[in-house]
Structure 1
Amino acid sequence: MGHKRSRPTSSGGTSSAQQAAKFLGISVLAGVVLAGIALPAAGALGLSAKGTAAGFDSLPGELKRPPLSQSTQILDTKGDLIATVYSRDRKVVGLNKISKPMQQAIVAIEDARFYEHGAIDVKGILRALNKNAQEGGVSEGASTLTQQYVKNVFVEEAGDDPTKVQQATQQTLGRKIKEMKYAIQLEQELGKQKILENYLNITFFGEQAYGVESASRRYFSKSAKDLSLTESALLAGLVQSPSRYDPVNDPEEAKKRRDVVLQRMADVKNITQAEADEAKKKPLGLKITQPKNGCITAVNGAGFFCDYVRQVFLSDKAFGKTKSERSKRWDQGGLTIRTTLDPKAQRSVQESISRHVYKSDDVATAVTLVQPGTGKIVGMGQSRPYGFGKNQTQINYSVDRNMGGGAGYQPGSTFKPFTAAAALEKGMSTAQSYPSPNEMPYPDVTDCEGKRYTSTAKVPNERKDEVGPYGMREALAKSINTYFVSLEADAGLCDVTRMVNSLGITKRAGGTKFGLGASFTLGVNEMSPLKMAAAYAAFASKGEYCTPVAIESISDANGKKLPVPKTQCERAMSEQTASTINTLLKGVVEDGTGQQAGLSDRDSAGKTGTTDYRYAAWFVGYTSDMAGAVWVGDPAHKRRMTNITIGGQYHTEVYGADTPGPIWKDAMSGALAGTVSPGLPTVAIKDPEKPRNDDDDHHGPGDDGGPGNGGNGGNGGDEGLFGGIFGGGDGGGGNGRGGATNAGPGTGTPETGGTGAG
């Protein structure tokens, strides 16, 4: 190789055009025109020599060199790779990590006099000028390696915008002048070796590979520092036309081009003719590594979590003030993102899903696991894989629509603990009892803005034999609908919605406002598994709600740490309330509807949920150190889960207990295997006394009297607890709570309500 040529430096009033002329060894005006290498077209462009010189000097003095886009690695909490994502597959490496034959091959075939000329190659220009003049157009560019690098910078800056790419690559006099001006600048600033390094890192080598390191790994499954002579010659030959000489699709054409490069290397004395002849006899020696780009390649079924990480990046202002800024930074890549995903938990999630729900089933399932007290998402998966084919989807069923999910799914009775928590925070007791008939009209409720909701519809319990009276413990264990609409009415719809808000649920999964009314407690508003898991995690963390997080740290290509969003923890309820809910929900898995989900080796608590017509079924539960939500249903909200086979098992009707429950149990068991979970904090619960069976004093539950001044009237029974929520009677005392415990006998009838004693 030749030695680095001394470079001219600007002095006094020397202009950039004069510097160009000095390089060319000709006059300023002629030099500029010749630099365009399109003399026959100059007149047609209406660009005089004098005007071209002026335009040359008016160009910005500095070439903006945006950071090269590179691949981003997404890692789990152990540092293992989840997926590699990129807009352009590139890994920037130093020249010392690129083999000598590779450096020699690219110079030999692209700019053999690279080390002899300055930024502009006069001989090359004159040669191209002669050929172009003969052909009457622009058929040869005469661009030096430095000029090619400048052009690639323009292309890189254009990104995926086709208009900008066209402008960056079109053969015009104006673009050539820009290339020349910036090439001169870069020769002065960087020097030959750095320009060669930058060129090898920016150039496209085909097959989605940008830069020599990615190309080396794509075609030969090795690092660029280990490239042999023949391998280097093949890669160098691709640069002129990556599609024409593609060794994967046309190995014969690629070999011809490789041999041209080998001969050129012999001609410029990089290798001997004998070495070139011997190398030409060798096969291409490809060892292809298929490109693995994007969340579709994620391991352990973590494609949806991977996509959620991307959504977090694109939506959080920690990574840029505007969405366009964040999107540009993501495409630039070069990031190492360590996430909260626990590989053991993720494997357990996917194994449980695969065991219980097949991807070809009419319905799907989604599971999300969250760590109480930190908000860390440790597992996220679903039965329909991330992809574009049959029974695949790119919709993340675990999250809200604005984060890549869908409209969500009604959570049913898994919403009832929020009403219980609101009632407890208001000072109500678990001993609060209601007659809870098998069916009753919805009570009137009022929201936080004072709007009153009335309904003529009736709410039934699941089974005909579910008839009260019930206290809170038994009502939650049996999931009694009529109890919870009554409790919501007394606690107040406003306080219930405030409790739900404090647990991170402020709108439907689809992004719309809540539908309010007495049915709110029954889980009629669509939710996502992530929101439900994070909300239940607050019960496990002594009443403190923590926003979900997926990212632990981010480093850029230079190892610099970027700021990442942290979880925000706030108290949603008192520790006493949380401990009481723990006690109630332990009862659900110990002897209530959730027995099929109970863990045998540690404290667990949770709640089942099944919607009307069996469109969705849920189980949401937790231990002291992990919370999880499982949804099963048809994402399209069309297939009812009756007379259906799921995971090879036939169901006449699907309940939250029999399908989501076992999925939750298996996912949690595997995720927590080998660990010790502290017990859940609980409290002693007082259940209500059973009413006396006295025909004189107890007339049984009925349609009770309506709200009166000062309270709701009793139904004439001896407890008076469900006094006058409906109907029109004047109520006795009780501060609007439906009468007082141990109220005396009342008057009136079950049909009309009446006056209950305070």
Structure 2
Amino acid sequence: MFDRFFSGKLSRLAVSGILSGAALAVAAFPAVGLGGLIVNRVTYIYNHPPDDLHIPQNAQITRVYANDGKTLITNFYDERRSDVSLSAISPWMQKAIVASEDTRFYQHGGVDLRSVIRAFVSNGQGGNAQQGASTLTMQYVRNVLKEDPNLSPQRRVDATANNAGRKITEMRYAISLDKKFSKQEILRRYLNIAYFGNGAYGIDAASRSYFSKAPGQLTLPEAALLAGIVQSPDVDNPAFGDRNAALARRTYVLGAMAKMKVITPAQAAAADKAPVDIKVSVLPNNCTAVPKQHNDWGYFCDYLTQWWANQPEFGQTVQDREDALKEGGYTIVTSMDPKTQASALSNSLSVYGYGSPMALPLAVVQPGTGRIAAMAVNRHYSLDPNPGGVSYPNSTAQFIGGDGGIQGYPSGSTFKMFTMLAALESGKTLSTEFNSPAKLQTKWYANGSSSCNGYWCPGNDNPSWMDGPRTMWNGFGRSVNTYFVWLEEQIGPEQAVAMAQRLGITFRAPADAELAGVKAINWGSFTLGVADTTPLDLANAYAAVGADGRYCDPLPVLSIKDAGGASMAAANPNCRPAVAPDIARAALDAARCPVGEQSAFGRCDGGTAPEVGSIMGGRPIAGKTGSTENNATETFVGVTPQLAAAAIAADPDNPSDLAGEGVSSSVNSAVAHTLNTALTGQPVVNFQPPSAAIAGAAG
């Protein structure tokens, strides 16, 4: 009678009320009496179903790829797990887990009442806590409860407590789930949440961890081995645990499969004799685990994590976003181009090797999107110790993008671009002329060697080449300090500072941030590039000029999809007009002069980096060199309509070290060669000339 009763409709009803009484009465009731007790309580439970089980998304691996969407950079995860469909799981695995854990899975309604009564009677006689009788559905419930981050720590502990209360909770939810989901769906969910040892959560991770293959490729012996270890995944572990115990469990599973008639006794015997061919695979995790031959990718990866932590779409707090990266199962296709990245690294190393205390961080950015194509420096992204107590060649400091203790480096005359843009915006033209002296006494108070009569008095580095009547074209081309300090006086340094900020220059150094605030009106030296910046900020600022004045936030991704395949808006460029197109085009026209190119109006008459134009082989380019006092740093930033790049030679540990001495031309060439390689095969795109009005009458 009970068999027919348990296999019918009522076997799908909740049993918490039944068991709450049965747990106390089992010692006093024989099996037949207990059956009567169950029947009496079923009607009440049927009319009072359990609450729905909250099922959070399984924690899953986030995978990070280069811009081709195929080249893996690294993964992020707390738990090695990737959910897969049931069709992607070997039928052998599906049959093996049912035979191993729940032979009546397809007959019962979430709770196998035959086994429940048998277990209660057995446990009652033995005086032990509840054990046995756990169906696959109940095990799934247990896994959900113990992993649900929305539950209190105590409730998650209770999910694995060895007592009747835990069993009752599992049973209530299991019956509810059996009504809600098909058997196939419950099996899929169980196989994706079960722990298989060796850090592998879910069947996809287990298959790849133990056999280095997809779960759909599992053979019968492999499936039986994996199914056998879920009860004791760390002890019965064929890779690092008791292999004999794992084999014994495999024998048991194969026997159960034969008993269920899902395989023949001959198949079971053959599979039981099969050798165990374990091929353990370790899945890279985080930025220090990028491929060893490409450890330079770690710097791009590091910037990605920094960017991710600032995206509200991935959580309300930084911690929420970091958790999402490690648990959300995202597929991230970055903007990093391996070819451009390799070129950037090679060219950085051509200036300073890995063994040098000097660094040449280099960034490449796409105008119009802000997408970052490369971030390289002559360092290994690694936590390995360095020889002799120095800070190189291994480091995880963010030399290229800044933050994390890196404030940046002064980039000299590259900041003249911001003064020029602000002056053009104020109504001045490219033809604005000033008779530049060797030294210029300004209106700002100063003392010391740089003062004249108590006022700041900057000078030109090469008076014979720089002094005399200058316009924006040849003032920029020859990098005439006194011309740009005079120009800054005309418009006010606060305007140049504001322009730099509009173009994404971030003042990370506290002293710079203070000067950029209420003191900007007196920051006369700003135009000479005394503030710290990074290659990424600088390249992206010039990229905005190259994009007709449209500034885009730096963006390290092409696309992001969540675990369900939905695209995330954070991957879209975030752009805005920063300066008017004609002003940007005018500034670019003057920026043709430093690199040996000619402006649209033929007004260039010499530049500080003429080798750049030659390296580019006729492809249009604009740019600017920058040297700080005594060549402490040396900078070059170049921009084309398709890409912009910047590099700064500096000593990250000692700002007073003369890192830029003697490497000016090498830095210029490193950036130019990187751009030239990156643009190989792409069409030649010309700059748009500015209007005659903004060029001025002399233009």
TM over 0.5: yes
Q: Report how far residue 408 of structure 1 moved.
A: 2.1
Which is worse superposed, 116-125 or 237-246?
116-125
Alignment match, 1:640? 657
Alignment match, 1:603? 620
Alignment match, 1:8? 9
Which is worse superposed, 101-110 or 567-576?
567-576
Q: Report how far residue 204 of structure 1 moved.
A: 1.6
Matched, 1:619 2:636: yes
* Pick aligned residue for 1:81 from 71, 81, 86: 71
Alignment match, 2:250? 258
- Partners in 1 of 2:208 and 2:342 — Cα distance? 29
Alignment match, 1:676? 683
The one-letter amino acid paired with 2:539 is A
The one-letter amino acid paired with 1:416 is K
- Specify the SS of the correspondent of 1:553: strand
The one-letter amino acid paired with 1:636 is D
* Pick aligned residue for 2:561 from 542, 555, 560: 555
- Specify the SS of the correspondent of 2:652: coil
What are the within-5 Å matches in structure 2 for residues 12-91 of structure 1?
19-20=15-16, 27=18, 29-31=20-22, 61-83=51-73, 84-91=75-82
The one-letter amino acid paired with 1:334 is G
- Specify the SS of the correspondent of 1:315: coil
Q: 1:353 to 1:155 in 2, by over 3 A?
A: farther
Alignment match, 2:468? 469
Matched, 1:119 2:110: yes
Q: 1:93 to 1:567 in 2, by over 3 A?
A: closer
- Partners in 1 of 2:152 and 2:19 — Cα distance? 35
Q: Report how far residue 239 of structure 1 moved.
A: 1.2
Q: Report how far residue 201 of structure 1 moved.
A: 0.9
Q: 1:62 to 1:512 in 2, by over 3 A?
A: farther
Which blocks of at least 5 consecutive residues in structure 2 are unaligned?
30-42, 386-392, 446-452, 597-605
* Pick aligned residue for 1:178 from 158, 162, 169: 169
- Partners in 2 of 1:608 and 1:127 — Cα distance? 84
Which blocks of at least 5 consecutive residues in structure 1 are unaligned?
22-26, 40-52, 446-453, 643-650, 689-758
CA contact (8 A) 1:115 1:192 kept: yes
Q: Report how far residue 33 of structure 1 moved.
A: 5.2
Q: 1:58 to 1:91 in 2, by over 3 A?
A: same
- Specify the SS of the correspondent of 1:628: strand
Q: 1:227 to 1:369 in 2, by over 3 A?
A: same
CA contact (8 A) 1:582 1:681 kept: no
What are the within-5 Å matches in structure 2 for residues 134-173 of structure 1?
137-138=128-129, 140-158=131-149, 165-173=156-164
Matched, 1:337 2:325: no
Q: 1:235 to 1:462 in 2, by over 3 A?
A: farther
* Pick aligned residue for 1:277 from 261, 265, 269: 269
| 1:186-242 deviations in Å (ceiling 9; x for gaps) | 122224332222100111222332211221122222222221111001111221222
| 1:38-60 deviations in Å (ceiling 9; x for gaps) | x9xxxxxxxxxxxxx99999996
- Partners in 1 of 2:434 and 2:200 — Cα distance? 69
- Partners in 1 of 2:199 and 2:631 — Cα distance? 47
- Specify the SS of the correspondent of 1:365: coil
Q: In terms of Rg, which structure is larger?
A: 1
Alignment match, 2:437? 436
Alignment match, 1:364? 359
CA contact (8 A) 1:508 1:525 kept: no
- Partners in 2 of 1:139 and 1:363 — Cα distance? 67
Alignment match, 1:748? none
What are the within-5 Å matches in structure 2 for residues 523-538 of structure 1?
523-538=529-544
Q: Report how far residue 621 of structure 1 moved.
A: 1.1
Q: Report how far residue 532 of structure 1 moved.
A: 1.1
Alignment match, 1:661? 668
- Partners in 1 of 2:346 and 2:532 — Cα distance? 27
The one-letter amino acid paired with 2:139 is Q
- Partners in 2 of 1:615 and 1:162 — Cα distance? 55
CA contact (8 A) 2:130 2:163 kept: no
* Pick aligned residue for 1:209 from 190, 200, 210: 200
TM-score (structure 1 length as normaliser):
0.75
* Pick aligned residue for 1:376 from 358, 371, 376: 371
CA contact (8 A) 1:73 1:81 kept: no
Alignment match, 2:525? 519
- Specify the SS of the correspondent of 2:278: coil
- Partners in 2 of 1:122 and 1:87 — Cα distance? 37
Alignment match, 2:36? none
The one-letter amino acid paired with 1:246 is N
- Partners in 1 of 2:686 and 2:212 — Cα distance? 51
Matched, 1:244 2:235: yes
* Pick aligned residue for 2:219 from 215, 228, 233: 228
Alignment match, 2:593? 587
Alignment match, 2:599? none
Q: 1:356 to 1:218 in 2, by over 3 A?
A: farther
Alignment match, 1:306? 301
- Specify the SS of the correspondent of 1:589: coil
Q: Report how far residue 291 of structure 1 moved.
A: 0.9
Q: 1:267 to 1:561 in 2, by over 3 A?
A: same
The one-letter amino acid paired with 2:285 is N
Q: Report how far residue 333 of structure 1 moved.
A: 2.0
| 1:501-556 deviations in Å (ceiling 9; x for gaps) | 33233543789455441111122222222221121113322333333333343333
Cα-Cα RMSD: 3.9
Q: 1:499 to 1:176 in 2, by over 3 A?
A: same
Alignment match, 1:45? none
CA contact (8 A) 2:16 2:169 kept: no
CA contact (8 A) 2:258 2:265 kept: yes
- Specify the SS of the correspondent of 1:588: coil
Alignment match, 2:411? 411
Matched, 1:485 2:500: no
Identity %: 35
Q: 1:160 to 1:54 in 2, by over 3 A?
A: closer
- Partners in 2 of 1:687 and 1:240 — Cα distance? 86
Q: Report how far residue 152 of structure 1 moved.
A: 0.8
The one-letter amino acid paired with 2:193 is I
Alignment match, 2:187? 196
- Specify the SS of the correspondent of 2:636: strand
CA contact (8 A) 1:368 1:533 kept: yes
CA contact (8 A) 1:399 1:509 kept: no
Q: Report how far residue 558 of structure 1 moved.
A: 3.1
**Greater helix fraction, Structure 1 or Structure 2:** 2
- Specify the SS of the correspondent of 1:629: strand
- Partners in 1 of 2:684 and 2:172 — Cα distance? 68
Alignment match, 1:347? 342
| 1:368-417 deviations in Å (ceiling 9; x for gaps) | 2222223332223333243322433333323242xx67322222221111
Q: 1:247 to 1:405 in 2, by over 3 A?
A: farther
- Partners in 1 of 2:4 and 2:307 — Cα distance? 51
Alignment match, 2:32? none
- Partners in 2 of 1:258 and 1:360 — Cα distance? 54
- Specify the SS of the correspondent of 2:649: strand
- Partners in 1 of 2:375 and 2:640 — Cα distance? 17
- Specify the SS of the correspondent of 2:364: strand
Q: Report how far residue 286 of structure 1 moved.
A: 1.9
The one-letter amino acid paired with 2:468 is P
- Specify the SS of the correspondent of 1:533: helix
Q: 1:455 to 1:203 in 2, by over 3 A?
A: farther
The one-letter amino acid paired with 2:671 is W
Q: 1:394 to 1:687 in 2, by over 3 A?
A: farther
Q: Report how far residue 626 of structure 1 moved.
A: 1.2
CA contact (8 A) 1:4 1:192 kept: no
Q: Report how far residue 557 of structure 1 moved.
A: 3.0
- Specify the SS of the correspondent of 1:73: strand
| 1:621-657 deviations in Å (ceiling 9; x for gaps) | 1112211111232333457245xxxxxxxx8x244x2
